[in-house]
Structure 1
Amino acid sequence: MNAITISANGHVTFSKALLRHLRVRPGDKISLDRFPNGELRVRTVRPVGKIDGFFGSLKREGQRPNSIEEMDEAIAKGWVDEP
């Protein structure tokens, strides 16, 4: 059992082992689900992204976007001609 002490201000501190188990770091969020018998379920809150946030993320600095024709050509080559 992992006991947690409550401070005078009502704050709690999780041990490093528990934080590692939850896979959280400073700034991350956790969720507490309450149950009628006084139990809590602690879960990591994972941000839900949208595909819009991914667009352009692989672009290198100074690189222009490839045209559809260039993409089709690369697919047809199968990337075997160039590293």
Structure 2
Amino acid sequence: MKSTLKITSKGQVTLRKKMMDELGVQPGDKITVEVVEPGRAELKPAKLEGALDKFIGCLHEPRMRALSIDEMNTLIAKGWAGELDEPDDA
């Protein structure tokens, strides 16, 4: 797909809906622009900063044993039912 865009005095461009659909982005999302050679750039959806690979392991407490799936499910069910006590430091 090819589209001609006008650059504003602030250096901004507006992507047409069809272009946004092709990129899989929506208003408010971020995109990256990379110059691949002089006079040519590539546009891609930006990776989310909170990507899963950054999240994995962030909750690990070395002194605590890991919960089983059954224990996690029980805690989740109690949380949704409002049956969990609030932490003391909350």
Q: TM-score, normalised by structure 2?
A: 0.55
How does 1:1-83 map onto structure 2 within 5 Å?
1-47=2-48, 48-49=51-52, 50-51=55-56, 59-60=76-77, 61-62=80-81
1:44 Cα shift? 0.6
Distance in 2 between residues matched to 1:31 and 1:10, nearest whole Å: 15
Residue-by-residue CA offset, 1:14-70 (whole Å, 9 max, x unaligned)? 0000111111112211011112331000011122122368xx7xx351277xxxxxx
Q: Secondary structure at the match of 1:35?
A: strand
Q: 4+ residue runs of structure 1 moved beyond 6 angstroms?
A: none
Which stretches in structure 1 are left out of the alignment for 5+ residues? 65-83
CA distance in 2, matches of 1:2, 1:28: 20
**Gap regions ≥5 residues in structure 2:** 59-71, 84-90
Q: How many residue pairs end up in the alignment?
A: 61
